[in-house]
Structures are given as structure tokens and as C-alpha cells.
A and B are shown apart, each in its own frame.
Chain A
Amino acid sequence: MDHQSGAFLAVRDLVVEYTAEGQVVHAVNGVSFDLERGKTFGLVGETGAGKTSIAKAIMRILPDPPAKIKSGEICLDGEDLLKISERAMRRVRGRKVSMIFQDPMTALNPIMKVGDQIAEVIKLHNNITWREANRRAVNMLEMVGIPGERFGEYPHQFSGGMKQRVVIAMALACSPELLLADEPTTALDVTIQAQVLEMINKLKRDFNTSMIMISHNLGVVADVCDDLGVIYAGEIVELGSKEAIFDRPAHPYSVGLFGAVPTLDEEKKRLNPIAGLPPDPSNLPTGCHFGPRCPLATEQCKSGTIALREVEPAHFCRCIQVASREG
């Protein structure tokens, strides 16, 4: 990975720790990736692998008493977000970078009108009147498929899917350049999932927004992403284009992930889960974090830090057992 990158978003060696009751939890352990303008980067991994922490770190909205960004760089358009003042960061939030949250049921203020919540972010970042902000908010509602008349209603009057659309409207209201979508469809019904994903895609194309899609659902990731990063225990263990990783997964964890998904056209008597359990983030194994569960692990894997290696052009893997491939 080259250190200088002309990419729109360049994350380098991000480390995030949570301290609670004297124990330190290593949520993110040196994550690096690039994102180019207009592209979608997927972060795939199990729940608790650190994906949400990465997104919240980019926006600097990690809950400060327990969480802390220990080190790293997050360069957006050349500017390191971790070094700017809080005041400057507030101008970035909601305007340059915005986020769609996982649970639409709790993401909206229950006693504030839905339209007001959208207008609020518009008014915050634009020097316009409330009337104009409200007008634009109505526009956003229509854009996500909600009739403008529902501006004055409250969140509890909407279903889960519609609430999520409101959240999307809020996130896109100021035409952000980077959108962080944290499992936006996980809490929704399968039928609604497709609708919401389609809407996100369409808006992304219309606004040419770059996006980071966080999910533990491989189907969702296949649908919308250009590039992928597979996360395990706070580290990226595999990085590359969607095609490369889906067709030729290199890291044993990725291989296990893809093997675990049942397909309709195969006869299966049992599911193939990955053996073992995810490691305790406050007590990570030395050497390769995946070692205890890995079918390819050797003594070598238990010590030292394992670096990302290129196994084919633009396809990286954090494993010493996987040799490079040709072609």
C-alpha cells in the first residue's frame, strides 16, 4: 500500500480503543484503506469486529468517555480529519460527510417533527431562511419517496422502512461527498431492504457520492460495492475489488465466510460455520488474530505482527500461509 495516495478518502493505521471499568478493548487495530470519488467501499465482518467504530471515528462521533482514537490518519480530500479543530469538524459533519445509522427505530428524535429534523441539518450548513430550509426538506422527503404532506408528522407515525428513508433524507440533505452507511438495511424486513438499497444506489448515482457500506450481509455488499475490505478483530484481513474477493477469496476467514453462505442450487445437509468464536477484544491472541480458528495455522502464525501482502494486483491479504498468485 503506498502511503501517499490521491484518493478521496485515505485512512491510515487507525487505532481505536475503548476503556471501561479498567479494561481496555481494542476495537480497531491499525486499519488502512482508500476510497476513490464516486466509488463504494464495503466493510464486511461479523458484529463487533469494529466496523461501526471505524465509521464513527471518521465522523469523530465516538462516545468520548469510553472510546478514544489512539492514532492514525483520516485524510479526506487531502485534509486529516483527526487533526482539525472540533469547530472545523462540525462543518464537515452533515455536510461533507454524513452517516446513515443502523437502527431507524431509535435514530430519530421521537418528539420532533420529521420534517423539522431534516430542515435542521439543512439550516445548519446553509445560510438560508427557515422557510427555504423547510422547502428543501420537503424536497428531500419527496426524493426518498415520502409525500411532502407528511412533513409535520412524528417518527412513531412511520413504519421502520419509512423511518429509514427519513434518515437517508437527513443524511443526503446537504449533498455530502462521503456517505457512511452503517448496516442501513439490517433492521428492516427483507422486502423493504431491496427498496432501500435501490434508493441508496440511485441517490448515490445522482449526487455522485462516495460511500462506505458497512454490512455483515454478503448479498447487500455484492449489490452495491465496488471494492471490499474484510474485517476481523479490528483489522482488515483482506482488501481488494469485489470481483477479486468474491471469486477468489484469499484469507482463510474470507474463505470461511463465503463457504458459510448456503446457496439455493446446492444440496446441503448442514451449514458450514467457521469453527470457534470471535476473540475477546480485550484479550486478543498474539500473532494472527484469526489463528486459533484457522485451518491453515502454524506455529509461525502465533507471533509477530502479520502485514498485508499483495496476492495479486490490487488484492491484499493478511496471511503468511497464502502465497501470491499469478494473474
Chain B
Amino acid sequence: MGRYILKRLLWMIPVIIGVTILIFTIMYSIPGEPVSLMLGPEATHAQIAAKRQALGLNDPYLVRLGRFVGGIVLHFDFGDSWVYHTPVTTELLHRLPRTLTIAALCIAMQVLLGIPLGIIAAVKQDTWIDRIAMFTALFGISMPNFWIALMLVLLFSVRLGWLPPYGISGWQYYVLPVVANGFVGVATQARQTRSSMLEVIRSDYIVTARAKGMSEFRVLLRHALPNALLPVITVIGNGMGRMLAGTVVIESIFSIPGVGMYLVGGINSRDYAVVQSSVIFLAMAFTLVMLLVDLAYAFIDPRIKAQFAGRKRRKQYA
């Protein structure tokens, strides 16, 4: 088991380096003159040239790449902001907790609401409960999260005045952003849980369990649910990716000082160092989450666990 963990951790490193190289190369290919866009139309040629030199933009591709990747791998340093000349890393780390809090709350909402909803819909298949739940879920995955956010603000802040529309000075400030970002997750989770449950309920081993004389409730709880929840873990991982991408917009709408808002700020001020580093940073967070998901999966499913049991314990009987 420990070997599997080690193997997966080691595999993560080339992936992260690959991601870094990919994003860097994409950003490297910006046509035109990024510095002049950044400095504005009043900048003189001398100022632009000086800036380019200061930012090290005149060096060849490989040198710049090496410098960037080396900085990340060796010192975990993403470089400096082009506009403010402050280290991007400190800013990212400072803002990360806020983004993670929202993402974590969204995932919690997704799991606590989505899974029970999916189970109920599966157990009551084709009844009105099922149809309503699934239709709502279908709506949920079809709405853009920023629109949900604005509609919620319209209803709860503007019309009803119950909840604040921006800021983070207290727990109430987190309600709308989390609900807006998490809504899609709940819908996706409910749909996936339902189909997973339906598939499991049709299985032969469920019939076997009933044939033992177990009550339907126990059959669902002890045999159906554990099997149905296995693939759910993967959905949670993907959901995290969606949350992280979604926080970009949500933070911007609710003025929450997290990584997402930093990224949007970088886009608006043409601060490509910030944009580049924020994207890579978020991608790293996502990769880490997927790693944890894979490990959790391996830990829970005995079939996968067995693949990595030591040679001694692996037996083959005729």
C-alpha cells in the first residue's frame, strides 16, 4: 500500500512539471508587445525596452523556461508580478485559504445534499419524487454559475435584503457564494449518485442479499450503498476542479479576496506573470485533489487494494 502511495506521488511530479511547461509555453506565445499593453499608450520606447530588460523578457525561451520551472521546483517561487513587483507566491499563499474555504464548503454542500438526493431518487425510481429531483438537477447543470450567483443576489440581497451581496466580514457573507458555486455540484452529484445506485440495485448480489431474508432497508444500507458510493468519489474529485475554476468568477462577483479574484485582476491589468502563476497554482491544487481522490479510492475498494498488496499475500487458488 505504501508503495502505491509513493508511486502516485512520484507520478504527480512530472505531471505538475508538464502542466507548468505547458502553461508557460502558452503564455510565452503572446503575440504583440505585452509590456506596452501593460504600460499603456503613454509609454515611450525607452520605458518599454527598459521594462523588458528588467523582466528578463529578452532572454531565449529555454532560459526563461528553466528559470521559471527551476524557481518553482527549487524554491516554490512563482516570480514577481509585472505590475507591482511583489512576489506572486506570497500573494497566492495568502489568498489560498479563502479560496479553499469556499471550495471546501461547496464540496461539503455537494456531498451532503447531492448524495442523499440521488439515493432517494434511485430508490423511488420513476415516482414523482424522482422526476422532480432529476428535472431540478437537469436545470442545475444547465445554468451558468455566475448567473445563478447574480439571480441569488437579486433575490436575497436586492429584493429581500436578507444576505449581503459582497465582502467576507462574517459567516453570512459566505452563504450566497457557496450556494451559487455549489449548486451545479449538487445537481451533478445527485444525477451521478442516482445512476450509480440504479446500476447497483440491479445487481445479482442485491438479489442474493434479499434472498437471505434481509429487510429492504438493510439491503440498501449494507450492500447497495457501499458499492454505489465507490464511483462517487471520482465525481467529487472532478467537482473540485469545477469549483476551483468556478471560484474565479464567483470571487469576482462577490468581491472575495481569493486566488480567483487575483487571477481576474491580473487579466484586467495585463499582468501576465500573475495570470500564468495563478493558473498553474490552481492546476496544482486540482492535481493534488485528484491524487487524494485516487488514493481514497484505492484505500476503499478492496479490489484495487489487493493489486498492491505485497507479493507474499497474493494467492491464486485453482
Contact = CB atoms under 8 A, between A and B. Distances in A.
Contacts of B214: 90, 94, 120, 124
B205 interface: yes
Given A112-B223, A157-B315, A170 B212 contact: yes
A95 interface: yes
Nearest to B207: A61
A113 to B, nearest CB: 8
B133 interface: no
A298 to B, nearest CB: 43
Interface stretch (A24-32, A99-107, A202-210, A247-255): A99-107
Interface in B144-185: none
Interface string B187-210: 000000000000000011101111
Given A107-B204, A154-B303, A156-B306, A94 B223 contact: no
Contacts of A99: 211
B318 interface: yes
A94 B208 CA distance: 10
A111 B302 contact: yes
A92 interface: yes
Given A61-B207, A106-B205, A167-B208, A111 B213 contact: no
B233 to A, nearest CB: 13
Given A111-B230, A111-B301, A157-B315, A170 B208 contact: yes
B265 interface: no
Interface string B110-134: 0000000000000001100000000
A47 interface: no
A286 B54 CA distance: 94
| Residue of A59, A91, A108, A109 most packed against chain B (CB within 10 A) | A109
Given A157-B306, A157-B315, A103 B210 contact: no
A99 B167 CA distance: 63
B226 interface: yes
B209 A109 contact: yes
A94 B213 contact: yes
Nearest to A92: B213
Contact of B208 (A107, A154, A159): A107
B317 interface: yes
B227 interface: yes
A59 B210 CA distance: 9
B215 interface: yes
Interface in A66-110: 90-95, 98-99, 101, 103, 106-110
Interface residues of A, number: 32
B317 A158 contact: yes
Contacts of A57: none
Contacts of B300: 111
B37 to A, nearest CB: 56
A121 interface: yes
A125 interface: yes
Contacts of B315: 157
A109 B213 contact: no
B213 A106 contact: no
A311 B315 CA distance: 56
Contacts of B306: 154, 156-157
Nearest to A60: B210
A121 B204 contact: no
Nearest to B309: A157
B303 A108 contact: no
A244 interface: no
Interface in A102-154: 103, 106-112, 120-121, 124-125, 154
B223 A61 contact: no
Nearest to A62: B207
A162 interface: yes
Contacts of B227: 109-111
A91 B213 contact: yes
A156 B303 CA distance: 7
Contacts of B126: 65
A196 to B, nearest CB: 14
A238 B119 CA distance: 46
A109 B212 contact: no
A108 B205 contact: yes
A61 B219 CA distance: 13
Given A111-B227, A154-B302, A106 B211 contact: no
A117 B231 CA distance: 22
Nearest to B208: A107
A106 B207 CA distance: 10
Contacts of A110: 205, 227, 302-303
B211 A61 contact: yes
A121 B212 contact: yes
Interface of B: 125-126, 203-205, 207-215, 222-223, 226-227, 230, 300-303, 306, 315, 317-318
17 contacts: A90-B215, A92-B213, A93-B210, A94-B213, A95-B213, A98-B211, A98-B212, A103-B204, A109-B223, A109-B227, A110-B302, A120-B214, A124-B214, A125-B213, A156-B302, A157-B306, A157-B317
